[in-house]
């Protein structure tokens, strides 16, 4: 059984200027619960990309829209279940199913790399839509 302990809840507005504050908060929290520096950077990158995607795609670049973030420490019966869970909520447009396919293997191009970076940085990346709310769940386990 995995237990969650809420560490931080943030509500912010869809404005790229807030990203530096979020980046500044995430890495120290990840480090404090046991992640190595490389993983702290990966977690920070994944969340930065996720928020950027919400601002750009869900809200069409419109400022002042609500984005909620919850960070929870995961404690499991097994050591490999310990980690960090990030939940990101927005009320923007529903993404098209094709937007979650990612890039074909070996293809690099400008744009469309956010999801690739999130999947590469995190152990789990799951997007769901409940009613009018988009929910992104990302999990990174401590190695």
Query: For the chain, what is the domain count?
Result: 1
pLDDT at 111 over 70: no
Please report whether residue 103 resides in a domain: no
Question: How does residue 61 score in pLDDT terms, banded at 50, 70 and 90?
Answer: very high
- The CATH number of residue 83's host domain is 3.30.565.10
Q: Residue 110 has what DSSP assignment?
A: S
Contacts with 133 (C-beta within 8 Å, 6 or more apart), sequence order: 89, 90, 91
Domain membership flag for residue 25: yes
Please give the share of the chain, as a percent, with pLDDT higher than 70. 86
Q: Is the predicted pLDDT of residue 115 greater than 90, yes or no?
A: no
Whether residue 105 is predicted with pLDDT greater than 70 in this model: the reply is no
* pLDDT of amino acid 103: 54
Q: Cβ(139)–Cβ(85) under 8 Å? A: yes
* 8 A C-beta contact, residue 31 and residue 84: no
- When comparing pLDDT for 107 and 58, which is higher? 58
- Is there a domain that residue 107 lies in? no
β-sheet with 133-141: strand ranges across: 2-13, 66-76, 83-90, 133-141, 124-130
pLDDT of residue 110: 47
Whether 42 is covered by a domain: the verdict is yes
On whether the CB atoms of residues 13 and 65 are closer than 8 A, the answer is: yes
In a domain, 68, yes or no: yes
Is the residue at 102 inside a domain? no
For 109, what's the count of Cα atoms within 13 Å in the CB-facing half-sphere?
Answer: 7
Supply angle C-alpha 118, 121, 126, rounded to 5: 45
Rounded to an integer, what distance in angstroms lies between the CA atom of residue 53 and that of residue 90? Answer: 11
User: Both tokens of residue 125?
Assistant: 């990346």
The pLDDT mean for the chain works out to 89
- 117 vs 47, more confident: 47
> Tokens 């507005």 — which residue?
13
Q: Which residue range forms the structural domain that includes residue 52? A: 2-96+113-141
Q: Is residue 104 part of a domain?
A: no
Instruction: Express each pLDDT in 13-26 by its tens digit.
Output: 999 999 999 999 99
- pLDDT category at 104 given cuts 50, 70, 90 is low
Give strand pairing partners of 43.
none
Residue 124 lies in a domain: yes
């Amino acid at each position: 059984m995995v237990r969650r302990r809420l560490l931080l809840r943030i509500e912010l507005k869809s404005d790229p200027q807030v990203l530096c504050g979020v980046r500044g908060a995430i890495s120290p929290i990840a480090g404090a619960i046991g992640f190595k520096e490389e993983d702290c950077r990966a977690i920070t990158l994944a969340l930065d990309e996720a928020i950027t995607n919400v601002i750009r795609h869900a809200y069409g670049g419109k400022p002042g829209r609500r984005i909620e973030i919850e960070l929870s420490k995961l404690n499991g019966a097994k050591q490999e279940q310990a980690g960090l869970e990030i939940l990101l909520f927005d009320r923007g447009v529903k993404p098209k199913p094709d937007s979650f396919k990612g890039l074909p293997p070996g293809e690099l191009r400008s744009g469309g790399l956010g999801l690739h970076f999130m999947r590469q940085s995190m152990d789990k990346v799951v997007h769901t839509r409940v009613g009018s709310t988009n929910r992104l769940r990302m999990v990174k386990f401590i190695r």
